[in-house]
């Protein structure tokens, strides 16, 4: 049982959550188009990253659409406020979505920073195992969020241990490989570490929300922070990784990457390639 079902919502509270779900799945649909269209602009060795971004977009789109429909079906207007009807709302769908997205997002990072061979396979195993352990222990804990009994805290704490392992490995993957990458992309790779770390911390924050702010406003804040976290950790993160892959591809002389960046580069690639053309 989730705290969403414990409260009644005024028009504002209900509508904000309703709208926030909409921007969530709309952003995933938009991201899907972007990742499919740009996937060929980087060297073939980076295309797994675009494919994984597309996988993340489809699964998150469906999950947020389901949550949105669920929100609309659970709460009914009684003439003065929105109250629970004959169905309950559950955040559990999010955790099911994370079990696809967390491993997919982490493996993308290995691909883009150029981890290969045994190190790649080892990285995949660590990310998949600790990612799933983090998600499923948290999934069990969230069932106890209304009463905040011992399992809420114990499973949450166990999940946090796996989270710490993931962040440590992400640190090693980014900061440990950054010196092998072209100078131009180094600040972005470091930025990806911080973007991931900060936005992923919003999820345990949302888990703890019942203990921090146990009210209808707390629910609104929780669903807003989930959506911000989803858009940044899936869409913006994927776009950044795509740009890094494209820049490395350009630096290595890959034509489609050079053409794709012609508009953004100072002076334009055209000027260099075809002097005299205005």
Contact residues for ligand RET, defined by CB under 6 A: 98, 101-102, 105, 134-135, 138, 156, 159-160, 163, 200, 203-204, 207, 233-234
Smallest distance, Å, CB 247 to ligand RET? 24
Smallest distance, Å, CB 221 to ligand RET? 15
In the complex with ligand RET, which residue's Cβ is closer, 50 or 159?
159
Query: How many Cβ atoms are within 10 Å of 226's Cβ, its own excluded?
Result: 22
Smallest distance, Å, CB 134 to ligand RET? 5
In the complex with ligand RET, which residue's Cβ is closer, 138 or 242?
138
In the complex with ligand RET, which residue's Cβ is closer, 138 or 243?
138
Residue 64 CB contacts under 8 Å (≥ 6 apart), including other chains: 21, 24, 25, 28, 230
- Give the three-state DSSP class for 252: coil
In the complex with ligand RET, which residue's Cβ is closer, 9 or 200?
200
Residue nearest to ligand RET (CB): 138
Query: How many Cβ atoms are within 10 Å of 75's Cβ, its own excluded?
Result: 24
In the complex with ligand RET, which residue's Cβ is closer, 41 or 68?
68
Query: How many Cβ atoms are within 10 Å of 46's Cβ, its own excluded?
Result: 24
**Among 108, 73, 100, CA closest to 88:** 73
Smallest distance, Å, CB 167 to ligand RET? 9
Inter-residue contact 229 to 26 (CB < 8 Å): no
Smallest distance, Å, CB 269 to ligand RET? 35
Q: What is the dihedral of CA 63, 65, 67, 71, to 10 degrees?
A: 180
Q: How far is CA 215 from CA 13, 68, 211, 247, 271, in A?
A: 11, 20, 10, 46, 60
Smallest distance, Å, CB 276 to ligand RET? 49
- Give the three-state DSSP class for 8: coil
Q: What is the C-alpha to C-alpha distance for residues 33 and 85, in angstroms, rounded to an integer?
A: 37
Query: How many Cβ atoms are within 10 Å of 52's Cβ, its own excluded?
Result: 23
In the complex with ligand RET, which residue's Cβ is closer, 188 or 208?
208
In the complex with ligand RET, which residue's Cβ is closer, 89 or 207?
207
Smallest distance, Å, CB 51 to ligand RET? 16
**Maximum Cα–Cα distance across the chain:** 73
């Amino acid at each position: 049982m989730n705290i969403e079902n414990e409260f009644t919502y005024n028009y504002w509270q209900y509508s904000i959550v309703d709208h926030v779900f909409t921007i969530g799945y709309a952003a995933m649909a938009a991201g899907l188009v972007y990742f499919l269209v740009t996937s060929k602009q980087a060297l073939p060795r980076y295309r797994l990253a675009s494919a994984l971004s597309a996988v993340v977009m489809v699964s998150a789109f469906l999950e947020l659409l389901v949550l949105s429909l669920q929100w609309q079906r659970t709460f009914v207007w009684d003439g003065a406020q929105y109250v629970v009807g004959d169905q309950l709302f559950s955040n559990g769908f999010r955790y099911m979505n994370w079990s696809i997205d967390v491993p997919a997002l982490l493996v993308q990072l290995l691909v883009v920073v150029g981890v290969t061979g045994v190190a790649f396979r080892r990285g995949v195993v660590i990310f998949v195992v600790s990612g799933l352990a983090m998600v499923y222990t948290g999934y069990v804990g969230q069932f106890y969020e209304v009463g905040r009994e011992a399992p809420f805290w114990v499973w949450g704490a166990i999940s946090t241990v796996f989270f710490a392992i993931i962040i440590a490995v992400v640190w090693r993957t980014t900061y440990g490989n950054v010196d092998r990458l072209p100078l131009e992309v180094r600040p972005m790779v470091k930025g990806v570490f911080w973007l991931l770390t900060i936005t992923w911390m919003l999820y345990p924050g949302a888990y703890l929300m019942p203990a921090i702010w146990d009210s209808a406003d707390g629910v609104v804040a929780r669903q807003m922070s989930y959506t911000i976290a989803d858009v940044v950790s899936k869409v913006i993160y994927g776009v950044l990784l795509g740009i890094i892959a494209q820049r490395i591809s350009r630096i290595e002389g890959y034509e489609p990457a050079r053409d794709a960046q012609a508009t953004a580069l100072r002076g334009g690639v055209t000027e260099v390639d075809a002097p005299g053309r205005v």
